[in-house]
Each structure stands twice: as C-alpha cells, then as structure tokens.
Amino acid sequence: MKKKRIVAKSVYTLADLKKGVEVDPPVRLGVFGDPVEHSFSPQMQNAALKQCKIDMQYARFHISPNELREAFDLIRKLDFVGVNLTIPHKISALELLDSVDDNVKRIGAVNVIKVESGKLHGFNTDGRGFSRAVREEFSVDLRDLRVMVLGAGGAARAIALQCAKENCERLVIANGTFEKGQRLADSLRNFFEGPKVLGPVPRLQAIPWEERAFQFQVANVDLVVNATPVGLNRGDPSPIPSRLLAPHVMVYDTIYAEKRTPFVSAAIEAGARAANGLSMLLHQGALAFEIWFRREAPLEVMRKAL
Ligand code: NAP
C-alpha cells in the first residue's frame, strides 16, 4: 500500500527534535536558526529531494543559541544527513563540530554541516555560491573584477576570501568598525602579492565607512557587494546612497528579502546593473546538496522552487 506523505511543519523546535520528528518521509535535513521562519531553504531543498527521488524531507528548526549543543547531539543520534546554519549560529557552531574544512577555518563561519558516522563536519558554501551567482547575474568572473565588499562579518569574509582565491583584480573592504575590515584585508594579503598593474590605487585595501571614501572607490571598482544586514528591515536605507553610485558599477546585494532591496533600488536609480541575493542563496544551497549527497544538484528545479 502506498504510504501517505505527511508534509513537515513550517517550523520545528528542540522539543520536536527530541521526539524524533515523526513524519513520512522522515525529516533528515534542515536549517537551524533563531529566527528561522524567513528561511527559503526548505522549498528549494525539498524540490531537489523530490526530483532526485531521495525519500526524506528538509525542515526549519527554531533553535536558540543555548539549545545548539543539544540539537547537534540529537541530529547525530537521529541519523540526519546534515543541516544548514543561519543567524546566529554560523560562528558559535565551530567549537561544537568534529572537523571543519579549510574554508571554514579561514572564514571563521560555517553554513553547512554533514553528519557522517555520528560525526559533524563543517563547510562554508557562501563564497563559492556568491561566485557562481555573480557569473550568472553579470556574465563575468571574479578574476576580472575590481570588487568592493561592504561588511566584514561572516558573509563578507566568505565573499572576500573567494574574491582573493579567484585572484580578483582589486579588493576593497569597507566596514563600520574599521579595524575589523583592516584585519580581514590583512588576512588576505598573501593572495594579492602578484603583479596585476592598476595604477595608483592599491590592490587590497580596507577603508572607513565614509561618504568620501565610497565616492573615491566607486570610481575605481566594477562590483559593489552588500554583505551587511542593511536593507533587511522595512524602512532601512541603501547602504550606499544612489548619488554615490555610478552607471558603470554592478551591484550585488546579498539580501533577498525582496526583489528590489534598498540597495538594488539605489543602483537602478543610478543607472547601474543590480541583483539581489536570491542567486547566492540558490547556489550555496546547491553546493550544500552536493556535499550531503555527493551528486550534482538539480539546479533548475531548485531555482524554480525559489
Ligand atoms: P554578521 O556576521 O553579523 O556581520 C554583519 C556585518 O555588517 C558586520 O561587518 C557589521 O559591521 C555590518 N553592519 C551591521 N549593521 C550595520 C549598519 N547599520 N551599517 C553598516 N554596517 C553594518 O552577518 P552575516 O552573517 O555576515 O550576514 C550579513 C548579511 O548577509 C545578512 O543580511 C544576510 O542575510 C546576508 N547573507 C546572504 C546570503 C545569501 O545566500 N544570499 C548568505 C549569507 C548571508 P561591524 O563590524 O561594524 O559591526
């Protein structure tokens, strides 16, 4: 007899995880966050699981910081394949894992966990997801771009490291807390010793969060990336106002809460090309699927589900 499919709840809690989350097909993947209600990952990953005929479900779990250790113990016991991590767990999870890859070590943040033989292994797919998103949105590779990254948190560090690894032409880090941006730039210095000749501007640089600094840099970069949460909340301004942008720049906003985020709107107003973070979400998710199942992700099905 054909089993009745029970769709997973919109959001589970630690208490549900303790009970084993009894639905059919079983939940063996998920995203841990606090808040987590906003996450688009279930629709994308469940579409991929269905397409690949993998008999399991992916669900949202509201897990607070003090519940994370117990939640990790439970996914070990419940035979989970893995989980994604979102705010506020990406950094604090590191010390609870059995191993992390080099990317995670350098970035200091983890967004994908694979469970294997009761051990938790950490990965970060944000940087490679970003790189694929930029290629898709603007038909250009990072190695050919002068990039300015706004922010120096987890997402910004993943993006900056990816730009460095792909030998981008130039990298500028702008952060509110200048010293943090400076530390990020210093950690990438060894990638920028090669001979790309660019005239008077340095290949790698941290700048203060100031209008004059933005104005100068916009004239000397091709791509501006927002990796801050500015734009997530209704009524937020654009991280850089339209009058400081220019038609030659491409703008990538990692925020995907709406199609036209404040930064995307400012870019369009300035005559620039712009994209929101949905494509990065798609590609980091596809890369996570590939880590979990060691097979190619059904990208078009995932895209459609988003
Ligand atoms: P995070 O680690 O908390 O870092 C936040 C960064 O933003 C810090 O550098 C902080 O500067 C800066 N910042 C915070 N408020 C600011 C403000 N009002 N003005 C200027 N700068 C401000 O956060 P995260 O995990 O990197 O996430 C950042 C963003 O990336 C989020 O919006 C998230 O949605 C997005 N994201 C998207 C994807 C995707 O797939 N599309 C993936 C990952 C993340 P200070 O150092 O001065 O505090």
Q: For residue range 120-176, what is the model confidence (pLDDT) as tens digits?
A: 999 999 999 999 999 999 999 999 999 999 999 999 999 999 999 999 999 999 999
Mean pLDDT of the region 38-53? 96
Q: What are the tokens at 42?
A: 């279930």
> What stretch of H or E contains 253?
strand 250-253
Q: Which of 38, 32, 19 is nearest to 64 (CA)?
A: 32
Q: What beta strand segments (E) does 42-92 contain?
A: 57-62, 82-85
Averaged pLDDT, 214-225: 97
Q: Does the pLDDT at position 199 exceed 80?
A: no
Mean of pLDDT values over 199-213: 93
Label residue 294 by pLDDT band (50, 70, 90): very high
Alpha carbon distance 14, 60 (integer Å): 11
Mutate to test the pocket of ligand 1, among 228, 240, 284 (most ligand atoms within 8 A of CB): 228
Would you state the pLDDT for residue 89? 95
How far is 29 from 243, CA to CA, in rounded Å? Answer: 44
Proportion of the chain above pLDDT 70, given as a percent:
96
Tokens describing residue 215: 């104005």
Strand order in the sheet with 57-62: 12-13, 57-62, 27-33, 82-85, 112-116, 119-123, 99-100
Rounding to the nearest 10 degrees, give the CA dihedral for residues 86, 37, 117, 123: -20
Tell me: pLDDT of 4 over 70.
Answer: no
Gap between the Cα atoms of 249 and 283, Å rounded: 23
CB 238 near ligand 1, within 6 Å = no
196 pLDDT higher than 80: no
50 is known as an active-site residue: no
DSSP H/E element including 146: strand 146-150
Protein residue closest via CA to atom 13 of ligand 1: 228
The pLDDT of residue 1 is above 60:
no
If you measure from the C-alpha of residue 153 to the centroid of ligand 1, how many angstroms do you get, rounded to a whole number? 6
Residue whose token pair is 């008999």: 55
Give dist(CA 213, CA 236) in Å, integer: 21
CB 111 within 8 A of CB 126: yes
Has residue 240 got a pLDDT over 90?
yes
Q: Is 125 in the pocket of ligand 1 (CB under 6 A)?
A: no
CB of 100 within 8 A of CB of 120? no
Q: Residue whose CA is closest, atom 46 of ligand 1?
A: 177
> Which pLDDT band, with edges at 50, 70 and 90, does 247 fall under?
very high
> How many other CB atoms sit within 10 Å of the CB of residue 169?
16
pLDDT of residue 93: 97
Residue type, 277: G
Measured torsion, CA atoms of residues 184, 190, 191, 195, in degrees rounded to the nearest 10? 130
Asked whether residue 198 carries a pLDDT value surpassing 80, the answer given is no
| Residue 17: predicted pLDDT | 94
For 139: left if phi > 0, alpha if psi spans -120 to 50, otherwise beta; the answer is left
Q: What is the distance between the alpha carbons of residues 94 and 153, in angstroms, rounded to a whole number?
A: 15
Q: Please determine, for residue 7, whether its predicted confidence score (pLDDT) is greater than 80.
A: no
Q: Give the position, in ligand 1's atom list, of the atom nearest the Cα of 284.
A: 40
Query: Which member of 2, 90, 105, 114 is catalytic?
Result: 90
For the segment 79-105, the average pLDDT, to the nearest whole number, is: 96
d(CA 72, CA 89): 12
Buried b / exposed e along 227-242 (16+ C-beta atoms within 10 A): bbbbbbeeebebbbeb
- Give the model's pLDDT for residue 3: 52
Q: Which of 92, 254, 264, 276 to mutate to test the pocket of ligand 1 (most atoms within 8 A of CB)?
A: 254
CA pair distance 168, 178, nearest whole angstrom: 22
The percentage of residues in the chain with a pLDDT greater than 90, rounded to a whole number, is 89
Compute, in angstroms, the gap from residue 227 CA to the centroid of ligand 1. Answer: 5
Whether the per-residue pLDDT at 108 is higher than 70: the answer is: yes
The whole-chain average pLDDT of the chain stands at 95
- Angle at which helix 178-187 crosses helix 154-165, to 10 degrees, equals 30
H-type helices in the chain, by residue range?
14-19, 41-51, 68-77, 89-92, 102-107, 126-138, 154-165, 178-187, 211-218, 262-269, 278-293, 299-305
278 lines ligand 1 (CB under 6 A): no
* Token output for 129: 């997801």
